[in-house]
Amino acid sequence: MQLTEEQLDLLKEIGNIGAGNAATALSTLTGKKVDITVPSAKYVSISDIPFLFDSPEEIVVGIRMTIRRDLIMDILLILDAKTTKMILSSLMNTECKDITQLDPMSKSALREIGNIMCGSYITAMAEFINSYLDPSPPELITDMLTGIVSEAILSTAEYEDNVVFVETSLSVEKLEKIKANLFLMPGIGTLNEVFDKMGLM
C-alpha cells in the first residue's frame, strides 16, 4: 500500500492535534510548560526502521499500547536513554543514571507519560473518524531498539510491509528539544478504513 500526500498530511494532522492534547495534559500533570511538535509523518518500510535511528542496537525505553476495538492497531513510543533521563529529570524531578535499572516510581512515571503521548494520538484519531477506540494499559519495555521494534511489528509484518512513523519533538520550559517518536502499526485494513471515513480513498 502506498500513501498519497493527502493521506500523510492527515496522519500528521492527527499527530499535531494529539501532540497539542498531550502537551496540555503533561503541563497539567507537572505544572511545567511543555511543548510538543510533529515535524513529519512518514510511511516507512519495516526493514528501514533501524536506519531511522543513529544507534539501532542501543538500549531504549518503549511504551506500547494496543487497540482491538473498532480499529486494530498498536502504537509504540520510543525514548532513547538521553530522552528518558531528561523526561524523568525535567517532568518528574527524578534522577536516573541507568535506564536498565529503573525503580518502580520511574517506571510508573514513564508509563503515565506513554499513556498520555500514545493516548492523545489515539483520541485524536478516534475524533477524526468518529469511532470509539479503547486502548490497553501501557506496557513498558527496556531493551535494544531493534528488539523492541521487532517484537512490536510481529503481527503487522504478517500482512503489512510498512508502518507509520510520527516524528515527535518535546521540550520542557523551553529547554533543549528531545525526541519522543511514535510508531503506528496498523492492523489489516485499518488505514483503509481510516482514510475511507475521511473521504481519502
Residue 12 lies in a domain: yes
Number of folded domains in the chain?
1
Residue 32 lies in a domain: yes
Residue 179 lies in a domain: yes
Residue 201 lies in a domain: no
Alpha-carbon span 171 to 162, nearest angstrom: 29
Residue 51 lies in a domain: yes
Residue 200 lies in a domain: no
Residue 126 lies in a domain: yes
Residue 169 lies in a domain: yes
Confidence (pTM) = 0.88
Q: What is the pLDDT of residue 141?
A: 94
Q: What is the pLDDT of residue 201?
A: 63
- Please give the average pLDDT of every successive group of 10 residues along the chain, which has 201 residues: 85 88 87 85 84 83 88 89 86 83 91 91 88 90 89 73 86 76 85 84 63
Enclosing domain of residue 95: 5-195
Question: Domain with 182 in it: what CATH number?
Answer: 3.40.1550.10
Max CA separation in the chain (angstroms): 48
